[in-house]
Amino acid sequence: MVPDLFAQSIYAIDYLKLKQRGVKGIIVDLDNTLVESTRPDATPRLVEWLDELRNMGFHVMIVSNNNQTRVSHFAKPLGLPFIHTARKPLLPAFKKALKQMGTKPEETVVIGDQLLTDVFGGNRMGLYTILVAPVSHIDGFFTRINRRVERLVFFWMERKGYVRWDRSNKSEST
């Protein structure tokens, strides 16, 4: 359940370092990871970020628990492959993403804003997991429940010494 890395946002991650580690594929969550769950389209900054990743040679794929309408409306204009209704942390969507990107688990990272879906699922697949702070505090019903459980898990991890980052820090840390 412990992520390999915590970053304040997708923009604070050192992608060159990931590339040097042999990472070829990036599985990324949509809502509250890339944009607010209420934002229908990508921001100019996000489009620039995606262009940078593609220019670095990364395969990028959205894997979201949200519905087809939401995910396809967001991903198609960006030319991003996607999996909707992923049912994370279950493994089938992660396996499908690896197959579609043509990457192995050790060549793939998962970036998301939730411990119980993105990080837990990625860890179960043996992927490098990066937890980012949510871009918004507006969550759907099930995500609000997850966030409450996550607070308890964070408290437990901190007490056990499993947390290797400062969640209040604005910069990336390991």
Q: What are the pLDDT digits (tens) for 12-61?
A: 999 999 999 999 999 999 999 999 988 999 999 999 999 999 999 999 99
Q: Is 91 left (phi over 0), alpha (psi -120 to 50) or beta?
A: alpha
Amino acid letter, residue 104: K
Model pLDDT for residues 102-133, shown as the tens digit of each residue: 999 999 999 999 888 999 999 999 999 999 98
Q: What is the pLDDT of residues 59-101, one digit of tens each?
A: 999 999 999 999 999 999 999 999 999 999 999 999 999 999 9
For residue 106, what are its two tokens?
């050790």
**Residue reference for tokens 């579609």:** 100
* Distance between CA atoms of residues 8 and 86, nearest Å: 24
| CA dist., res. 84 & res. 63, Å (int) | 6
SS3 of 27, please?
strand
All domains of the chain in start order, with CATH: 5-160 (3.40.50.1000)
Can you give the pTM of this predicted structure? Answer: 0.83
